[in-house]
Structure formats: C-alpha cells, structure tokens
Amino acid sequence: MPITQPQALLPPPNQAWIDPRTGMPTQAFYQFMSYVFPNRVDVLGRILRTKPFLFRNLPRPVEGMIAGISDSTTATPGQVIAGLGQFHVCGYYTGKNWIVL
C-alpha cells in the first residue's frame, strides 16, 4: 500500500517521543504536534498553549474540544459561553454548548 501524504509526515513508529532520561518530548514529538496542530496549538515541555479564538470564529465543534475564547460573556466555571463579551476563558464543548472550564 502506498504511503499517503499525512503518514509520510509522521515520525517512524519506533522513534521515541519522550526522552527516558529527561522525561521531555523529543524532536519526533514536536514534528508530530506541528503537523497535527499547524496553526492553533503550541506544545513546549509539559505546557499546552492554545491561541484564543473569538467565539464566532471557533471551528465546528466536536464534543470534548477545548479552546481559548477571548470574548466570553462570562468567566464563571460551568456557565455557557456566548460571544461579544469581555472575558478571556478556557472553554470546553459538551456536545451541546461551550462552557467555561
């Protein structure tokens, strides 16, 4: 079976993703993450940083998504997020609504 383009960009399966000596991600891990999340997520060490979206610009959601939202109308955990507000929050999509984490 020929290798498709996405598979060609992934590191070989036998290449370590975490350095056992340091516990830190290897170059293979960073290559994979930059392919999977080319524009919206940075991974550095053990920190995940999402670049915030305006609520109206969020991608079509799938249950379990997490996103930085820069114009929420509420900052109260568990409350439903709507756009055009003043709060910068971390949101979670429940399958029905975006809520503040």
Whether residue 56 sits in one domain with residue 35: no
Whether residue 56 sits in one domain with residue 42: no
In the chain, DSSP assigns E strands to 41-44, 47-50, 66-72, 87-93, 98-100
Whether residue 86 sits in one domain with residue 42: no
Residue 62: domain span: 52-101
**1-58: pLDDT as tens digits:** 444 444 555 556 666 667 777 777 777 776 676 666 666 666 565 667 778 999 999 9
Instruction: Record the pTM.
Output: 0.58
Whether residue 97 sits in one domain with residue 62: yes
Whether residue 100 sits in one domain with residue 79: yes
Whether residue 92 sits in one domain with residue 60: yes
For residue 15, CA distances in Å to 9, 11, 19, 30, 33 come to 13, 7, 10, 12, 14
Given 46, 65, 80, the domain boundary residue is 46
Counting the structural domains of the chain, the total is: 2
